[in-house]
């Protein structure tokens, strides 16, 4: 039978980062299993690629800080481009609650070493993006090192580097079962045969609850559809501008090549494995877009170029990273709730630390353990995009 020190299920950006960080720390007998013929067919290939340190909870701020620093050195360290573009994130507040929220976040970010989040006035905002309707904007925050990466390229970089160090990747291979003996991981069964191992990393994204169930463990991760709409080439907005977040509706947008990428999370969306794009979404998002950026009413949209993907949601919108309490050798790196790309460097590092050393110096990982849901120790992040 095939053997591996660690089997990682899922080769998206998270599984790839875990493989890289394990190999980097000397654990190279790692086998990554992916059911698709290519990497990136899950949520990673559907992502908007946004990275930001502007979060509200300390653990998310810490994960972002480490990750953005990593992205800034990625090409050199990994030997593959991340295409990190530090164009910033600009939050636009339209009421006093938004302002108070941004102020409290900024203090927390500052205390944790993210010292470059600037307080901006409505006038500053209009200077950055003159096409915004700003009559109701009261101010906001801007962090110049927030920005974008190419999620596919980051994923490939992590995996190529891990494979150079000895990790293996089996594509076109579905995990069909996990055998546990005396509460300890024993075998992973796949469509290509069985693998004997004592450690399994669940990096199966939106499908992670099913993998946990195979080992008899519980994991509160639910799929939730998110849809993105690119415009046709559009030159009535600057060539370079930050990700802009209209806090009054949650509508946000950024430049993507010659066009603009429009995003809005419909609060009426319900959980489920829905990956088809709903064409009625175009009108909903364009209404919000034109309300904040009137020139966007003139943008062309081809619904066939729009797409949908899955967020992997947890009840408190924070990741679950750490060992499964009831199955020895099973580790979760799941439930990123829409932040899996930006947090991929930190999550791979923390997972590798926990597997190899039992603790991580990067963050207090116990707060991300799955036990928090049973113990009622939920973390609440409100800055979810
Ligand atoms: C529209 C949209 C926009 C987003 N925008 C952002 C953003 O701006 N910034 C950000 O940080 N995040 C964003 N996200 C979230 C981000 O894409 C995810 O959090 C991240 O990609 C999760 O990576 P992953 O590797 O855990 O999951 P995935 O990329 O989904 O990888 C999981 C892999 O597991 C495989 N798998 C599942 N079951 C099995 C099995 N039984 N056997 C073998 N393989 C299996 C799947 O095929 C898949 O390849 C966005 C998501 C969407 C949908």
Q: Is the dihedral of CA 156, 151, 227, 57 positive or negative?
A: positive
pLDDT digits (tens, 9 = 90+) for 301-325: 999 999 999 999 999 999 999 999 9
Identify which of 35, 42, 194, 211 to mutate to test ligand 1's pocket (most ligand atoms within 8 A of the CB). 42
Contacts of 292 (CB under 8 A, 6+ apart): 132, 133, 244, 246, 248, 249, 251
Which residue has a Cα nearest atom 37 of ligand 1? Answer: 204
- Measure 15 CA to ligand 1 centroid, in angstroms: 10
Average pLDDT over residues 62-77: 98
Per-residue pLDDT at 383 exceeds 60: no
Query: Can you give the pLDDT at residue 384?
Result: 52
Q: Which of 265, 374, 366, 381 is nearest to 316 (CA)?
A: 381
* Residue 88 and residue 148 in contact, taking contact as beta carbons nearer than 8 Å: no
pTM: 0.97
- Measure 207 CA to ligand 1 centroid, in angstroms: 9
- Measure 310 CA to ligand 1 centroid, in angstroms: 7
* Residue 212 and residue 291 in contact, taking contact as beta carbons nearer than 8 Å: no
H-helix or E-strand spanning residue 383: none
pLDDT digits (tens, 9 = 90+) for 222-245: 999 999 999 999 999 999 999 999
pLDDT digits (tens, 9 = 90+) for 50-59: 999 999 999 9
pLDDT digits (tens, 9 = 90+) for 345-372: 999 999 999 999 999 999 999 999 999 9
Confidence of residue 380 (pLDDT cuts 50, 70, 90): confident
- Measure 302 CA to ligand 1 centroid, in angstroms: 25
Cα separation, 221 vs 211, whole angstroms: 11
Which residue has a Cα nearest atom 52 of ligand 1? Answer: 47
* Residue 265 and residue 226 in contact, taking contact as beta carbons nearer than 8 Å: yes
Identify which of 7, 8, 9, 12 to mutate to test ligand 1's pocket (most ligand atoms within 8 A of the CB). 12
pLDDT digits (tens, 9 = 90+) for 244-281: 999 999 999 999 999 999 999 999 999 999 999 999 99
Distances (CA, A) of 154 to 20, 201, 281, 350: 11, 20, 29, 17
- Measure 236 CA to ligand 1 centroid, in angstroms: 33
**Is residue 277 lining ligand 1, measured as CB closer than 6 Å?**
no
Segments in 25-85 forming alpha helices (H): 58-78
**Is residue 15 lining ligand 1, measured as CB closer than 6 Å?**
yes
Distances (CA, A) of 378 to 166, 311, 367, 369, 385: 38, 19, 9, 10, 19
Query: Can you give the pLDDT at residue 374?
Result: 94
Ligand 1 atom with least separation from CA of 173: 43
Domain 86-145+223-312: assigned CATH number: 3.30.9.10
Average pLDDT over residues 83-92: 98
Average pLDDT over residues 283-308: 97
Name the percent of the chain lying above pLDDT 70. Answer: 99
Average pLDDT over residues 149-153: 98
What's the CA dihedral at 272, 273, 274, 275 to 10 degrees?
150
**Is residue 200 lining ligand 1, measured as CB closer than 6 Å?**
no
**Is residue 341 lining ligand 1, measured as CB closer than 6 Å?**
yes
- Measure 286 CA to ligand 1 centroid, in angstroms: 26
Which residue has a Cα nearest atom 51 of ligand 1? Answer: 47
Per-residue pLDDT at 385 exceeds 90: no
Q: What residues does each domain of the chain span?
A: 2-48+151-221+315-375, 86-145+223-312
Per-residue pLDDT at 153 exceeds 80: yes
Query: Can you give the pLDDT at residue 382?
Result: 66
Per-residue pLDDT at 107 exceeds 60: yes
86-145+223-312: same fold as 2-48+151-221+315-375?
Answer: no
Cα separation, 160 vs 169, whole angstroms: 10
Name the percent of the chain lying above pLDDT 90. Answer: 98
* Residue 142 and residue 120 in contact, taking contact as beta carbons nearer than 8 Å: yes
Query: Can you give the pLDDT at residue 278?
Result: 97
Ligand 1 atom with least separation from CA of 175: 42
Alpha carbon of residue 152 to chain centroid? 12
Q: How many helices (H) and strands (E) does the chain have?
A: 9, 20
**Is residue 48 lining ligand 1, measured as CB closer than 6 Å?**
yes
Average pLDDT, the chain: 97
**Is residue 34 lining ligand 1, measured as CB closer than 6 Å?**
yes
Domain 2-48+151-221+315-375: assigned CATH number: 3.50.50.60
Cα separation, 385 vs 380, whole angstroms: 14
């Amino acid at each position: 039978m095939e053997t591996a020190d660690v089997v990682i299920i899922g080769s998206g950006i998270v599984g790839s980062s875990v493989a890289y960080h394990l190999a980097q720390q000397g654990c190279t007998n790692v086998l990554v299993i992916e059911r698709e013929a290519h990497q990136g067919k899950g949520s990673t290939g559907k992502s908007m690629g946004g990275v930001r340190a502007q979060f509200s909870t300390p653990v998310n701020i810490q994960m972002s800080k480490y990750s953005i620093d990593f992205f800034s050195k990625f090409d050199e360290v990994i030997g593959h481009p991340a295409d990190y573009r530090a164009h910033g994130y600009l939050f636009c507040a339209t009421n006093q609650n938004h302002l108070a929220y941004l102020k409290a976040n900024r203090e927390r970010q500052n205390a944790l070493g993210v010292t470059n989040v600037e307080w901006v006035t409505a006038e500053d905002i209009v200077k950055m993006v003159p096409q915004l309707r700003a009559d109701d904007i009261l101010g906001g925050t801007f962090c110049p090192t927030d920005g974008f990466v190419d999620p596919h390229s980051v994923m490939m970089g992590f995996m190529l580097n891990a494979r150079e160090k000895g990790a293996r990747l089996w594509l076109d291979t579905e995990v069909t079962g996990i055998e546990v003996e005396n509460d300890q991981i024993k075998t992973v069964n796949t469509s290509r045969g069985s693998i004997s191992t004592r450690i399994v990393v669940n990096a199966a994204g939106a499908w992670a609850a099913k993998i946990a169930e195979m080992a008899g463990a519980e994991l509160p991760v639910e799929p939730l559809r998110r849809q993105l709409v690119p415009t046709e080439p559009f030159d009535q907005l600057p060539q370079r501008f930050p990700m802009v977040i209209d806090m009054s509706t949650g509508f946000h947008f950024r430049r993507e090549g010659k066009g603009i990428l429009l995003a809005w999370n419909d609060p009426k969306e319900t959980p489920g494995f829905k990956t088809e794009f709903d064409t009625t979404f175009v009108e909903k998002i364009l209404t919000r877009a034109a309300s904040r950026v009137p020139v966007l009413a003139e943008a062309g949209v081809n619904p066939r170029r729009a797409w949908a993907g899955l967020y992997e949601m947890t009840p408190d919108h924070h990741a679950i990273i750490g060992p499964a309490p009831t199955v020895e050798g099973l580790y979760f790196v799941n439930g990123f709730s829409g932040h899996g790309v930006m947090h991929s460097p930190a999550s791979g590092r923390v997972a590798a630390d926990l597997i190899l050393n039992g603790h991580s110096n990067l963050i207090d990982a116990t707060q991300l353990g799955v036990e928090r849901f049973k113990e009622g120790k939920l973390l609440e992040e409100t800055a979810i995009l």
